[in-house]
Each structure stands twice: as structure tokens, then as C-alpha cells.
Amino acid sequence: MHPVFKTVLKRLGLGVATLFVVSAIIFSSISMLPGDFGEAVLGQAATEETVAAFRDELGLDEPAVVRYFQWVGAVATGDLGTSFSGRSSSGVDRSRPVVDLVGPRLWNTLFLAGVTAMIAVPLALLLGLTAALYRGSVYDRAVNVTTLTTIATPEFFVAYILILVFAAINPWFPSLANVQADTPLAERLYRVALPAMTLTLVIVAHMMRMTRAAIINLLASPYIEMARLKGATPREIILRHALPNAWAPIATVIAFNLAYLVVGVVVVEVVFVYPGIGQLMVDAVTTRDIPVVQACALIFAGTYILLNLIADIIGIITNPRLLHPR
């Protein structure tokens, strides 16, 4: 079996095992939340008999271990369950499948993450390469100070500053990113401008600094010195010799930040009232909608594990020492 294929299979197995452990942690954490879920969903006006019937209908009175394996088995078949929202003490059931609730919101989150990634990744690579190329210059110091300031600033503060500057003082963009399923692409891009700008400022700093550090570290290698002695220009040294060998750490930090775009957008979505999966999860926690919370948390965990798995594979493929360990 080819070493790359064997390594991919090992990483996939590890990813599945990790996701299984994470699913147990998610289920246990939600089960330990204080309060009665039946009363939280049906409201204080519901009678004890109604709450008991509700819990029996949804299987909430069964042991936690039984409910966990029922949930995992259903998820494995693509069934995320039925939302608790829409139920009432009057017996009226307007609840919807969790897939119908998560699907559009997940698409909105992926759209925002995709727009941000298309801006942030090339910008971070460009800033990192040029900062390494002109190391110690005024440009390098300015980029480092700016990125350090951005890293140290919470994303909600960045979001409010952008709203103040670009929506309140200068009304160029809307402060609320309220998009619909039928919103045209141009209008959607216009409405997500501030959320995308916020996420870009937050993640570009990490990717830029890792790119710069990886390139500078490789510039001290003997083969780089040999390239200099042969008369290679600084641009050729970075693009043809240093950058191809720096893809492993750069791919890892890009994967981490892309995972953050999907997993860590909760704060940004709440600030801009963006109808993404992060906003859905916050609303579901407020209303004690257990199936929706579990589905959102599992999607976040799966996305994070998948992107880290891709980063590991890229790092192994691009590094012969990892591909053929002794």
C-alpha cells in the first residue's frame, strides 16, 4: 500500500474516533445542563401531566446511555432528529426536522466563511511573504504591529468598531447582515461585507505571522545559502526554494483558521444578526432545543476535525521526512 494512502486511512480512522469521543462529550454536557427540558420547551403554564407526556414522547425519561446511542445511531443514518421548537402545552405540534433548520443556516455560514477565506488567505500569504522578504524594514515592523494589535483585539470589539465607522458615521454598509434564501448574490455580498471584514481582520494576522515565521526559519537553511551563492535573487529564493518547503506549517495554520471561520463565527453572527448556524445554536440554547444544539455542536466538531485532518495530510505529503519516517 502506498505510504500516502496508508497515512490517509490512519488519519481518517483517528478522525472518526475523535468525532465519536466529541459526540459523547457534547451529549453529556447538554444532559448535565440544569433545569427540566420539558418545562423549558412547553413553558411554565404546562401541567405536570403534559410535561410528563412530553418527556415520554421524546424519550427524555430514558437513561442517558440509551438516549446517546439512539442519537448516534440516528445521526449515522443522516437523521438529526426533530426540533423541540413549535411544540406547546396546548398539544399543537409545529416542530420541524433539524435538517430543515440547519441546512439553510449552514449554507449561510459556509458562504460567509468562503467569502472571508477568498480575501484572507491570499492577503495573509502576500503579507507574510513580503514581510519575510523585507525583514527588519519599516514595512515589516508596521505589518507586525498591525497584526499583533488585531490578534489582541476581541472580534466583537472589532465588529462594533467597523459598525461605528462604516455603518453609523459613514453609512456605506448595513449594520445588520439580514440575508434571505432568495437574496441575489450581489446584494448578499454587500450585506456580509462587515462580517467578512471582521473575520478577515481576526484571522489574517495568525496566517500572516505563521507564513512569515516559516519563511524566515527556512531562509537560514544551508540550501538557501547555496542558492544565494549561485546568484539567486531574494524573490527567487523565497518563491522557488523557501515557499515550497514551508507549505506544511502554512497549511496547518490556514486549516486552523478556516476551521475557526466555521466554528468561531458565533460571536460575529450574533453581533450582525447574521442567520448562520452560530446564531441558530445560540437561539437553540436559549430555548433549550436539544436536538438543534446537538446537531450544531456536532457540525462544528466535524468541521474542525475534517479541516485539521486535511492539514495533517497536506503536511505529510509536502514533507518527505514525515511521509517516510524512520
Among 135-139, 158-162, 284-288, 293-297, where is mean pLDDT lowest?
A: 284-288
Q: Give the chain's domains with CATH numbers.
A: 108-286 (1.10.3720.10)
| The pLDDT of residue 93 | 52
Is-contact 250 318, C-beta < 8 A? no
Tell me, what DSSP letter sits at residue 136?
T
Mean pLDDT of the chain: 79
Which whole-number Å values give the CA distances from 289 to 96, 214, 293, 315, in the listed order? Answer: 12, 45, 6, 39
Among 104-113, 162-171, 251-260, where is mean pLDDT lowest?
A: 251-260
Per-residue pLDDT of 79-127, as tens digits, reads 777 777 765 555 555 667 888 888 888 888 888 888 888 888 888 888 8
Closest CA to 175 of 88, 106, 271, 90: 271
Q: 3-state class of 82 per DSSP?
A: strand
Residue 34 pLDDT > 70, yes or no? Answer: no
Per-residue pLDDT of 170-222, as tens digits, reads 888 888 888 887 888 888 888 888 888 888 888 888 888 888 887 777 777 78
